Amino acid sequence: RRTILNTLLSTYTVAVAKNTELQEAQEQLHSLNDRLQEAVDDLSRSNERLAAENQERRRVEKALADANRKLQLMASITRHDLLNQLAALGGYLDLAQMMREREPANAWKQVASAGEIVNRISNTIRFTAEYQKVGSASPAWQDIRSLVEKSERYVSAETVTLVNAVPAGAEVYADPLIEKVFSNLIENAVRYGKTATTVTFSLRRSGDTCTILCEDDGVGVPYDEKEKIFTYAYGMNTGLGLFLAREILAITGIAIRETGEPGRGARFEILCPVGVIRAPERHTG
């Protein structure tokens, strides 16, 4: 009996020791699991940051590549345009020289036409100086309400009132020159709206996308000119602001169109796809 009792006590002692060792091993395992989970969480956060940085880098690279392609295209267009204008200038001056003795009145008309061509050449050169800035800097997030406020200096308080209904905190990812887009829309309303008394900026949400609206109560844009006003050829006669605005916005995939009703005012819609707009949902229309 004593032998059996001693064996049982010895066995119990060994079991208790092994159980203690097992508990210690389990505690070490839990500790290792906790550290492993922390390492996994850190790795996951690092991967998320890396993915975000890669996405931002790809977006910037695409924007810069698009800007470079547009600049090359514009260099070709303006070179061709300048050559045509210089040819026309030479023609008017030749005619003026031929008519200066026999038809002096007509000769002066040719000189006046040559002067108009000189002005067009000057406008083209000034435009290229502006256009070369498009895409020269990386796109960035910019506060839309602040952009409208900065453009207020282009409004004549005596003729047009600017209403800024863009919600606070709304941001757009765009070329730094986007301020020129807002100022140009205001200038257009003042210059071509004729009867315009109010220019209103607001934000409208549709699903994951948002539209920045610029509306006035002027004479509006004729249906057959709604697309023409954004072209380079049309802009040579009325100002290249809208052509430049479309190019600036396109750097980050933003589109612009005119959808107003003629006779009731112009409405420019700046269409911002997913990824280039951040706006509080509760404050958007």
Residue 198 burial (CB count, 10 A): 15
Rounded-to-integer distance, Cα 240 and Cα 244, Å: 6
- The CATH topology of domain 140-283 is Heat Shock Protein 90 (3.30.565)
- Residue 134 to residues 131, 146, 175, 201: CA-CA distances in angstroms? 5, 20, 7, 24
Greater confidence (270 vs 72) lies with 270
Q: Please tell me which of 147-161, 219-233, 264-278 the model is most confident about, judged by mean pLDDT.
A: 264-278
Q: What is the pLDDT confidence band of residue 73, given thresholds at 50, 70 and 90?
A: low
Which span out of 1-5, 51-55, 90-94, 198-202 was modeled with the highest average pLDDT?
198-202
Per-residue pLDDT band for 237 (boundaries 50, 70, 90) equals: low
Nearest-angstrom CA–CA distance, 207 and 272: 12
Residue 194 DSSP class:
S
Handedness of CA 215, 231, 59, 131 (dihedral sign): negative
**Tokens in use for 280?**
């509080």
pLDDT over 80 at 137, yes or no:
no
DSSP calls for 216-248: E-SS---GGGTTGGGSHHHHHHH-SHHHHHHHH
Domain ranges of the chain: 1-132, 140-283
Average pLDDT of the chain, as a whole number: 83
* pLDDT at 282 > cutoff 60: no
Q: Is the pTM of this model over 0.95?
A: no
